[in-house]
């Protein structure tokens, strides 16, 4: 079974621009979570989608948004980029049940904001 | 926000030695996961734990879900050079407000000397 895929793998943007990152989950997984990883803050939860609905959101400004499509693929968007948004953005898919949530991560998108 | 205390922060060991790392929290978790991350890649799931007291092995790796549900440990036996990397614990709190959200420890950087 193919793993989680993320595109693009690397991205360079300038301050004020916006960016869209894409994530394709493992086949059959309906839950997709997004995380930001930085050296200073570690791995921080952004949001989670299940069946095209955002079920949970982390403590990030409204510039960070996402969506999920009917095939479970997900995108996240960051508008008005700031230098501090430079990070590795990871998505994780899960077969999620009411009692277990085992998340499998993609390789990440390395975003650099200049 | 909620954090997991992971220790040690780093380890430098000789090939063949056993390794132990742990995570603790003041909150009760209903899932504990252990991941390994190589530079520039996403975290790879090593072991998943779902029940208090559960002891699970994956090759040379063994992890346990603490009885109090507030801690977990990971042991690596007979370390080899390819064990080098950053190991993360992650947990999920119960409740709908925590759906799809993993909380991560700060990571343990493991270096193995041949």
* Of residues B66 and B94, more confidently modeled: B66
Contact: A105, B45; criterion CB under 8 Å: yes
Q: What is the mean pLDDT of chain A?
A: 95
Q: Which pLDDT belongs to residue B1? A: 56
Q: What share of chain B is helix, strand, coil (3-state, %, to 5)?
A: 5, 55, 40
Q: How open is the CA angle A35-A37-A40, to the nearest 5 degrees?
A: 140
Cβ partners under 8 Å of residue A71, min gap 6: none
The verdict on B106 touching A (C-beta cutoff 8 Å) is yes
Contact: A48, B101; criterion CB under 8 Å: yes
Query: What's the longest Cα–Cα distance across chain A?
Result: 42
Cα(A70)–Cα(A91) distance, rounded to whole angstroms? 17
**CA angle, B44 then B49 then B54, to 5°:** 145
Q: Give the confidence band of B96 by pLDDT, cuts at 50, 70, 90.
A: confident
Q: Which residues of B touch A110 (CB under 8 A)?
A: 40
Q: What is the pLDDT of residue B2?
A: 63
A–B CB contacts, 8 A cutoff, strictly below:
71
Report the alpha-carbon distance of residue A66 to residue B32 in Å, rounded.
26
CA-to-CA distance for A54 and A2, rounded, in angstroms? 24
**Does A101 touch chain B if contact means CB atoms closer than 8 Å?**
yes
By the 10 Å C-beta count (0-12 exposed, 13-18 middle, 19+ buried), B53 is classed as exposed
pLDDT digits (tens, 9 = 90+) for A28-71: 999 999 999 999 899 999 999 999 999 999 999 999 999 999 99
From CA B19, how far away is CA B11, in angstroms rounded?
A: 8
Q: Are B16 and B79 in contact (CB under 8 A)?
A: yes
Rounded distance between C-alpha atoms, residue B42 and residue A7, angstroms: 13
CB spacing of A33 vs B50 below 8 angstroms: no
How near does any CA of chain B get to the CA of A79, in Å?
Answer: 23
Residue in B45, B101, B107 closest to A42 by CB: B107
Stretch 17-56 of chain A: residues touching chain B, C-beta under 8 Å: 31, 33, 35, 42-43, 45, 48-50, 55-56
Q: Are B74 and B101 in contact (CB under 8 A)?
A: no
The residue among B35, B50, B58, B47 whose CA lies nearest residue B108 is B35
pLDDT in tens, B10-38: 999 999 999 999 999 999 999 999 999 99
Q: Which residues of B touch A33 (CB under 8 A)?
A: 100-102
> Given its phi and psi angles, is residue A66 left (phi above 0), alpha (psi -120 to 50 degrees) or beta?
beta
């Amino acid at each position: 079974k193919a793993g989680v895929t993320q595109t693009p793998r690397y991205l360079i943007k300038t301050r004020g621009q916006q960016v869209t990152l894409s994530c394709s989950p493992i086949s059959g997984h309906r839950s997709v979570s997004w995380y930001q990883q930085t050296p200073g803050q570690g791995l921080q939860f952004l949001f989670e989608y299940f069946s095209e609905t955002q079920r949970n959101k982390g403590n990030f400004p409204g510039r960070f948004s996402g969506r999920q499509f009917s095939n479970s693929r997900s995108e996240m968007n960051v508008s008005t980029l700031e230098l501090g948004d430079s990070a590795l953005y990871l998505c994780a898919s899960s077969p999620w049940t009411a009692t277990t949530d085992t998340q499998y991560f993609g390789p990440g998108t390395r975003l650099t904001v200049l | 926000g909620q954090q997991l205390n992971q220790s040690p922060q780093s380890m430098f060991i000789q090939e063949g030695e056993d390794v132990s790392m742990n995570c603790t929290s003041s909150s009760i978790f209903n899932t504990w996961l252990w991941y390994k991350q190589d530079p520039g890649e996403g975290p790879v799931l090593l072991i998943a734990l779902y029940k208090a007291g559960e002891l699970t092995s994956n090759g040379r790796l063994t992890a346990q879900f603490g009885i109090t549900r507030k801690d977990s440990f990971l042991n690596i036996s007979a370390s080899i050079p390819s064990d080098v990397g950053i190991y993360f614990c992650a947990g999920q709190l119960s409740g709908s407000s925590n759906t799809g959200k993993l909380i991560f420890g700060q990571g343990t950087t493991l270096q193995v000397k041949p």
